[in-house]
Amino acid sequence: MDFHYNIPTKVSFVNYEQTMEYLYGGKFINKHILLVMSVRMMERFGFSEIIEDLKKNNHVTHIVEAPPNPTEMDILEALNLIAVDYEIVIACGGGSVIDLAKAIIALSYKRTQVSQVIKDAIIKKEYLQHEKKVEFIAVPTTAGTGSEVTRWATVWDSSREMKMSVDAPWLAPSVAYIIPELTMKLSNRLTLSTGLDALTHAIESYWSKKSNAISRELSKSAIHLITKYLPKVLKDPDHLEYRTKMSLGSVFAGLAFANTRTTACHSISYPLTMRYGVEHGFAAAITLIPIMRLNRESIVEIDEFMNSYGGSSIDDMQEWLDEICRDIQRLRLSSFGIHKEDIKMIAEMSFTAGRMDNNPVDIQIEDIIEILNEIL
């Protein structure tokens, strides 16, 4: 049993007041800080005073436009706002905000007005020749994406033809502040979508070709926490203990797939999000059960795996998914405006390197077409 496990990010579970004390009151003096946080987040979480204090004592470049699913165009726009080199990056928001911060760090050497230049640098991994080490602080406001503990970021092609990513060891945040109180502001729909994203991370990490004893234990813990507490938090959104358990489950899932990466479910999810705007968590989870059935014979210690969600069969997970989604979003392609005639194109776009080939069972385009028809 030879394997290595890398956890480059310091994870700090803290309350809101503790984090404010860290950022406030002269912690940073005469620093060049890049802050990635939307105005909406500032207002929602009461960060305006903190930011003003940072600006009094430091040179702060504030990126306020952090759209969902950032594209190369968003990266270009952000890079052109940065006039001074920075030593510290603070990203506060959902996974897209943290991913945008990573992409800015990766491409910070670029000075261009042409978005295709950014796109080419990502595709050719040119940024790997321009390592930039900074103090990178990630403050997630959702419990699901895991971006606060991974070394990569998703970048979406603005032409909706491909999913891209930046990926380098030095892009992992230095520290992640996990503040469960921040997730109490989420709608039930976003709580569900991000929770299902974390669950899919954990499950795919468990059966990934790169899984090992540590990742599987983290995955099982994440699956147990999410399947137990996601229904509870949807019924009682202001319950801090439930939110804390969900945040913990999300971090465990992030730490698991940070070392193993995801597999077929995420690979198929990308065209669903890119072409049809399906929220990432729903897009990842929608194929979870058929892929689980396909992988069944390759799942290590499958009884322990199923015990982690309190079941004895794959049907039990199907029932859990159906029940938790019932009043918010039916997990069927047709519910997202996808039709039978779309399936072949989706299947052709579903083969993402590093994801589909990380699945324990080889999957052909015919398998994907069958799966997509099953969940139509």
Residues 144-168: pLDDT tens digits? 999 999 999 999 998 877 889 999 9
pLDDT value at position 10?
Answer: 95
pLDDT of 123 higher than 80: yes
pLDDT value at position 26?
Answer: 62
Domain spans of the chain, in order of start: 10-181, 186-374
- The mean pLDDT value for 57-64 works out to 91
Strand partners, 154: 165
Closest CA to 199 of 315, 284, 258: 284
pLDDT of 18 higher than 90: no
pLDDT of 25 higher than 60: no
pLDDT, the chain, mean:
93
Contact between 216 and 162 under an 8 Å Cβ cutoff? The reply is no
- The mean pLDDT value for 14-40 works out to 80
pLDDT value at position 185?
Answer: 86
d(CA 6, CA 278): 32
- The mean pLDDT value for 216-239 works out to 98
CA angle 227, 229, 232 (to 5 degrees): 120
Query: What is the reported pTM?
Result: 0.95
- The mean pLDDT value for 237-260 works out to 97
- The mean pLDDT value for 48-70 works out to 87
Contact between 304 and 220 under an 8 Å Cβ cutoff? The reply is yes
CATH of 186-374, one of 3.30.530.20, 1.20.1090.10, 1.10.10.10, 2.40.110.10: 1.20.1090.10
Host H or E run for residue 138: strand 135-140
pLDDT value at position 295?
Answer: 98
Kindly report which listed range (110-114, 131-135, 302-306, 372-376) carries the lowest average pLDDT score. 110-114
Strands 88-93 and 32-36: parallel
d(CA 179, CA 177): 6
Contact between 125 and 117 under an 8 Å Cβ cutoff? The reply is no
The backbone torsions φ and ψ at residue 113, rounded to the nearest 5 degrees and listed phi first, read -110, 10
Question: CA distances (Å), 332 to each of 139, 287, 293, in order?
Answer: 32, 9, 17
Question: Between 266 and 40, whose confidence is greater?
Answer: 266
The backbone torsions φ and ψ at residue 211, rounded to the nearest 5 degrees and listed phi first, read -65, 155
Question: CA distances (Å), 80 to each of 39, 74, 75, 110, in order?
Answer: 19, 10, 9, 9
Closest CA to 66 of 86, 88, 36: 36
d(CA 355, CA 353): 5
pLDDT value at position 371?
Answer: 97
The backbone torsions φ and ψ at residue 247, rounded to the nearest 5 degrees and listed phi first, read -65, -40
d(CA 243, CA 233): 6
The backbone torsions φ and ψ at residue 75, rounded to the nearest 5 degrees and listed phi first, read -65, -45
pLDDT value at position 67?
Answer: 86
pLDDT value at position 4?
Answer: 79
Kindly report which listed range (50-54, 227-231, 371-375) carries the lowest average pLDDT score. 50-54
- The mean pLDDT value for 351-368 works out to 94
List own/partner pairs for 25-32 with CB under 8 A and 24 or more apart.
Answer: 25/53, 26/57, 28/54, 28/57, 28/58, 28/88, 29/57, 29/58, 30/57, 30/58, 31/58, 31/59, 31/87, 31/88, 32/58, 32/59, 32/61, 32/84, 32/85, 32/86, 32/87, 32/88
- The mean pLDDT value for 189-216 works out to 97
Kindly state the tokens that stand for 6: 């890398």
Closest CA to 84 of 110, 57, 61: 61
pLDDT band for position 275 (cuts 50, 70, 90): very high
Percent of the chain with pLDDT over 70: 98
Q: Do the two domains 10-181 and 186-374 of this chain adopt the same fold?
A: no
Cα torsion through 76, 82, 88, 89, rounded to 10: -30
pLDDT value at position 23?
Answer: 64
- The mean pLDDT value for 133-137 works out to 95
Strand partners, 167: 152
Domain 10-181 classified CATH 3.40.50.1970? yes
- The mean pLDDT value for 346-372 works out to 95
pLDDT value at position 305?
Answer: 97
pLDDT of 261 higher than 90: yes
